[in-house]
Amino acid sequence: MKIGFFTDTYSQINGVTITIKALERNLRELGHEVYIYAPRGEVGETKDNPNLFTSEGIRFILSPEYKWAVFPVFTIPQSNLGLDIIHVHSPISMGLAGLINAKRLAIPCIGSVHTLLPEFWKPFVKKLSPYLTPKLINRVFDRFVKLIDRFSLFTTTIDLGTFLMEELSWRYFTEFFKRCDVALTPSKYAQVVCQKHGLETEVLPNGIDFTRFQKAKSLNAFNKKWNLDSKDVVVIYVGRLSEEKNIDLILKSAPDVLKSVDHLKYLIVGDGPFRSKLETLANQYNISDAVIFTGYLEQEMLNQCYSRADLFINASPLETQGLSVIEAMYFGVPILSINSGAVAELFDGLPIGLLFKDSRDLTSKLLQVLENQNLLHSFRKNAMRKASNYDIKEFCRKLIAVYENYLSRKK
């Protein structure tokens, strides 16, 4: 097959990009031709991948690492490639281009719901509110601060704006994916949320290319680089550092944990717009000596990180799958997760760790696990067994079956 991937994220480091590139690589190994259409990223990237077609993009002001392509519907030579099928990986600029071209070329369009974008409006509205709030209103608030509860009114204003933006974005999001031949979600959680907004989907969990992950034979270099002692207990988070990931909850729990556990280190792996705020929080909580911000890690160093970790914490209630959680499971790392979102689904059946409700509960559950080595050992074995269900090759097999099903309907 000749397959066109249309995506708004390809040059960034995140779970969606990793999934798309792994899928692209494995489909090609199976003999399929895969063409990528994305906003322009790094200089020279198109030379490295002759099947990559890029369009100039405008940076998204709230997350500058992301770009929205200048409406590229007629600027990409996909009609000359004889595409059999188009697979859109976002509902924004490039995804819209893919949907329109699929209709124009009369070929199937498969849509993947990687992220529930309408759920992320509140952090963005909060960021914009200082610029959107008229100066006159601020002056009124300042003058009558003793008579008016400024915070509650301010929050009400934000909540109203958030509600309107969520409602409009959900309508667009739903209508976009309804126009695909099928919309795929990576978890039951994402499917249920979409159903609440009138969008029917099929569940197909994304796969992980486990060939990239090898257990580290030696951790001496890793320990030295991050100043870790061999007896340190290492708790990790791996992912983008953004507000919706709720990483501040992990830091809020840390002071009470550190009072009870000697030689414990938190490794916050990744980068993003919320990093400076998290570093400030670590200082405010007086836990900077125990919290290490590593930034993004190259694959070999990431393998060593997973190999060194004793626990992985997920505090995000909005994950549609949680690929970094499954990567950690592959290394036998037990999971502590907030009891919400798709990660909680991973706890069905074989226990891989413990679920928590809030920062206080996280403290309790973390201490409970660290004090019970038999429980830890059981979680490690179960985590490795369950991670094997998410191999990229099985994902490709199922996705190809979806492609073939909708191709046969077009004939």
What are the sequence ranges of the domains in the chain?
Answer: 2-119+161-209+392-410, 210-390
Query: pLDDT under 70 in the chain at which residues?
Result: 41-47, 56-80, 120-166, 411
Give the DSSP letter string of 191-257. Answer: HHHHHHTT---EE-PPPB-GGG----S--HHHHHHTT--TT-EEEEEES---GGG-HHHHHHHHHHH
- Eight-state DSSP code of residue 358: S
Give the DSSP letter string of 86-154. Answer: EEE--SSHHHHHHHHHHHHHT--EEEE--S-GGGGHHHHHHHHHHHHS-HHHHHHHHHTTTTS-HHHHH
Q: Which residues pair with 88 in a beta bridge?
A: 6, 111
- Give the pLDDT confidence score for residue 49 in this predicted structure: 78
pLDDT digits (tens, 9 = 90+) for 389-403: 999 999 999 999 999
Out of 3.65.10.10, 3.40.50.2300, 3.40.50.2000, 3.90.190.20, which CATH number does the structure's domain 2-119+161-209+392-410 have?
3.40.50.2000
- Give the pLDDT confidence score for residue 117 in this predicted structure: 81
- Give the pLDDT confidence score for residue 157 in this predicted structure: 46
Residues 6+ apart with CB under 8 A from 330: 208, 210, 213, 306, 383, 384, 387, 388
Other CB atoms closer than 10 Å to residue 242's CB: what's the count?
20
Put residue 353 in one of left, alpha, beta given phi > 0 → left and psi -120 to 50 → alpha. left
- Give the pLDDT confidence score for residue 134 in this predicted structure: 46
Domains 2-119+161-209+392-410 and 210-390 in one fold: yes
Q: Name the residue with tokens 């070929």.
A: 107
- Give the pLDDT confidence score for residue 158 in this predicted structure: 45
Give me the helices (H) in 30-92, please: 45-48
Question: Which strands sit side by side in the sheet containing 109-112, from one edge to the other?
Answer: 52-55, 33-39, 2-6, 85-88, 109-112, 182-185, 202-203
Out of 3.60.9.10, 3.40.50.2000, 3.40.50.410, 3.90.1150.10, which CATH number does the structure's domain 210-390 have?
3.40.50.2000
- Give the pLDDT confidence score for residue 89 in this predicted structure: 94
Cα separation of 137 and 157, whole Å?
A: 12
Token pair recorded at residue 23: 């899928």
- Give the pLDDT confidence score for residue 150 in this predicted structure: 45
- Give the pLDDT confidence score for residue 125 in this predicted structure: 53
Other CB atoms closer than 10 Å to residue 165's CB: what's the count?
16
Torsions phi, psi of 229, nearest 5? Answer: -85, 150
pLDDT digits (tens, 9 = 90+) for 128-157: 444 444 444 445 445 544 444 444 444 444
E strand or H helix at 260: helix 247-260
- Give the pLDDT confidence score for residue 231 in this predicted structure: 93
Half-sphere exposure of 301 (CA within 13 A, CB side): 15
pLDDT digits (tens, 9 = 90+) for 258-274: 999 989 999 999 998 89
- Model pTM score: 0.85
Secondary structure (3-state) at 173: helix
Secondary structure (3-state) at 40: coil
